Structure 1
Amino acid sequence: MFIKFTIFFVFLISFSSSQIFSQSDGMQTESVYDSVYAKKLGADDYGMKTYIMAFLRSGKVSSKDKEESQRLQMEHLNNIVRLAEEGVLVLAGPFMSSDQDIRGIYIFDVTTIEEAKKLTETDPAIQAGVLEMELIPWYGSAALVELNNIHKKIQKISITDQ
């Protein structure tokens, strides 16, 4: 009898606790699922999708000419803007430490490494051998594809306005 009472009591406490936690502020997230929006973003049932992440690494070529380096950097940035405007580049940015082999990342809204490879081959810094890409499939929130639209609303100066 004691065991049955204990099991019942533990069940009752567990159920009560879950009700308390689910009703307290900030503890429960109510679903506001929008199937049309999810489909537009390419989301699966978890609100996720597959992207291709690119790690930009230092290439085998190092330009000693400052003018050439600046030209390549500007062409690299113009390429980033173009890919973002085409909707295939979701996110791009450098790492803040310059002493690392990994210089930055891209997240491409494509499903295969082959597609991402073709996109990376359009980058003048890749073509010059200054940067190399390591491409890896990545599973993340489908909401990332909205990032560029949000960024346009908060960006005061473009990376290509130099």
Structure 2
Amino acid sequence: MRKIVVLLFVFGMVFACKDNSQVTEDSKMQPSVKTVVDSKKEEEVPVETKLSVKALNDSLISKGFQTFQYVDAKTKDTMLMQQYFMAFLKKGPIRNQNEEEAALLQEKHLEHLGKMYELGYADISGPFGDEGDISGVTIYNVPTLEMADSLANADPMVKAGRLEIEIHPWWAAKGFKLR
């Protein structure tokens, strides 16, 4: 039961921190305008600017990302695909920590995943809802397998041997969000 509560907590933290609005490479470059909400307070409102597919692709390539484009048969839109890295967190060989040690490792694990998200290296992370050998997944938004592997293996749970990492390249269209 405690394990389920911890997993639900992890899942909740990841999605509570995740802003589900569309985030693109240009979101950091969006200008904002100040609007007067009432006579005492101003509020910044982002002005919608959108990079072209070519500009976004060029930006990603300049940072070392793998990409490709295709035209959607239905909408005729040019879709930009980017390579991400999906890290499966599997049960590791060293699981003999006592309850207190395991709880501390879990806390450090969550801190690590939060830091990966805050730094922009991980886009989504969360546990699976069953008791299988694969306990969770993190999708790394980094240019190389080596970088994803290094970040995933820096996780305190992995360092302690409680989890192991298995990473696979994964392609997804830029700009789409979970639904």
TM-score normalised per structure 1? 0.62
When you count strand as a share of all residues, which structure comes out higher?
2
Q: 1:9-88 residue pairs with structure 2 within 5 A?
A: 34-35=52-53, 38-39=56-57, 42=60, 44-45=68-69, 46-88=79-121
Structure 1, unaligned stretches of length 5 or more? 1-31, 148-162
- Identical-pair percentage: 32
Number of residue-to-residue matches in the alignment:
114
When you count helix as a share of all residues, which structure comes out higher?
1
Aligned partner of 1:109 in structure 2 is 141
Aligned AA (1:136): H
1:56·1:102 contact (CA, 8 Å) conserved in 2? yes
Deviation, 1:142, is 2.0
Highest RCO, 1 vs 2 (Cα 8 Å, sep ≥ 6): 1
TM-score normalised per structure 2? 0.57
Deviation, 1:141, is 1.9
RMSD: 2.5
What do the CA deviations read for 1:99-142 (whole angstroms, capped 9, x no partner)? 20000101101132211111012110000000000011111122
1:52·1:109 contact (CA, 8 Å) conserved in 2? yes
In the TM superposition, structure 1's runs of 4+ consecutive aligned residues that sit over 4 Å from their partners are none
Larger of the two Rg values belongs to structure: 1
